[in-house]
Structure 1
Amino acid sequence: MNKPYIVGIAGGSGSGKTFFLRRFLKHFSPDQVCLVSQDDYYIPVGYAMTPEQNKFYNFDLPATIDNDSFERDINDLLNKKTVVKQEYTFNNPNATPKTLEIKPAPVLIVEGLFILHFRNIADRLDLKIFMDADNDIALQRRMRRDLLERGYSNEDVYYKWVNHVVPSYNQYLLPYKSECHHVISNNTDVAADIVKMSEKIANKIRHSVF
């Protein structure tokens, strides 16, 4: 196997990264692609948070990511080594983390909020994809997700959005939008548009790599 082709997928909260990624992965067989998600590299807080503590703790900063481990695991995959690590459960005491086994593959996908800000990672990406959505639409998606999946109140979600999410997006993500090869606007719930774009990009990669 030659050097893996590295795809970076970035975008703000509620931009549709997860949906695009799921559709994108369907265009490859499991032995053709592997995924490293920045979400699994949050530094554990180390204590059980109350809802009030969780509200004020800012997870939307690069310093909350164990970037050394993130880089190390990417390097291991590039050197054809399998990575084994624990899934991050977002400080949910009721969740049992899964053990993730990530095997090297010809296409390596690196996904997360700060992958473009971490220049040691960004400079190695062969293809950069930026998921984009208007603020009001992204906020609505974030509220739906955090209410259903994490049990947060709309008030808490909105506080984090105004004080953590948007300032971090403007400082650590938006400045790198212009350097991306593909900027995908995702302001509707029309899945067909994202599916079509994911197929188009995947086909280009397949022709380049396989």
Structure 2
Amino acid sequence: MNNKPFIIGIAGGSGSGKTFFLNCFLHHFKNDEVTLVSQDDYYIPAGEMTQEENKHYNFDLPSTIDHEQFCVDIKNLLKGDVVYKKEYNFNNPLAVVKILEIKSAPIIIVEGLFILHFKEILALLDYKIFIEAEDTVALNRRVRRDGMERGYPEEDVLFKWHNHVVPSYNEFLLPYKDDCNQIILNNLDTPDHIISITEKIAQDLKIQYCKERA
């Protein structure tokens, strides 16, 4: 029997609806069947910044991620170890920092913008899912999220979108799209649509997982 956890990589650009997709996807597994490792928790702290500094700081570069620790933690989960990690607070000094306890599981989901770009992490993935949305849909989602959840002015969101988000997506994620096992077009904000897609993928992966361990 091969007891190595099955690693699923889920990549998607900003506004692709990746978070909602992930929440739906995880819902199809029991708690002890799956664990999630998010690239967001491996941002290198940028320190306190003014609104203007935050606007111009490019968070959409691979160099902003501690990818070495990211990879180490994935490998530790593969060995069955428990990983403890500070939750990233998106540079909000008022946020209460939580310590995440990430337990190993038969299925490990690794998600983030650069997971396909980091070669050592890419090599660990058994199955790759690419989530995308049309530019206008993704931008509208980004404007709503950053305005409602993070209080960013729309002008700043648009500046980051055109100068940071789109160039980074085109350079560090889009080139890997055709190498993924599954490509999901997520333009609809319809829960039933994503729930049905994630249910089908989850069922197929469970069958594949069982076959590989038979």
Structure 2 length as normaliser, TM-score?
0.96
Name the structure 2 match of 1:31: 32
Distance (whole Å) between structure 2 residues aligned to residue 129 and residue 97 of structure 1 = 30
* Deviations 1:35-67 (CA, angstroms, capped at 9, x unpaired): 10000000001x311000000000000000001
Identity of aligned residues (%): 60
Aligned partners of 1:169 and 1:85: how far apart in 2?
A: 26
Q: Note the 1:23-172 alignment, pairs <5 A.
A: 23-45=24-46, 47-172=47-172
Shift of 1:209: 2.5
User: Residue 36 of structure 2 aligns to a residue in which SS?
Assistant: strand
Structure 1 residue 207 displacement after superposition: 1.7
Counterpart Cα distance in 1 of 2:17 and 2:162: 19
CA positional deviation for 1:189? 1.2
The letter for the 2-side match of 1:24 is F
Deviation at 1:191, TM superposition (A): 1.7
- When structure 1 is superposed on structure 2, of 200-209 and 9-18 the one drifting more is 200-209
1:110-161 CA-partner distances (Å, limit 9, x unpaired): 0000000011111221110000101111000000000011000000000000
Report the equivalent of 2:23: 22
Matched residue, 2:14:
13
Q: Distance in 1 between matches of 2:115 and 2:192?
A: 27
Alignment RMSD: 0.9
Q: Counterparts of 1:209 and 1:183 in 2: how far apart (Å)?
A: 19
Amino acid corresponding to residue 172 of structure 1 in structure 2: F
Which whole-Å CA distance do the structure 2 matches of 1:105 and 1:199 have between them? 19
Q: What amino acid maps onto 1:112 in structure 2?
A: G
Question: What CA deviation, in whole Å up to 9, does each residue of 1:150-191 have, x standing for no partner?
Answer: 000000000000000000000000000000111100111122
| Counterpart in the other structure of 1:202 | 202
Gaps of at least 5 residues in structure 2 are none
Aligned positions, number: 209
Deviating 4+ runs (over 3 angstroms): none
Aligned to 2:149, the other structure's residue is in SS state helix
Gaps of 5+ in 1: none
- Write the distance in 1 (CA, Å) between the matches of 2:205 and 2:39: 22
Q: Give the CA deviation at 1:208.
A: 2.5
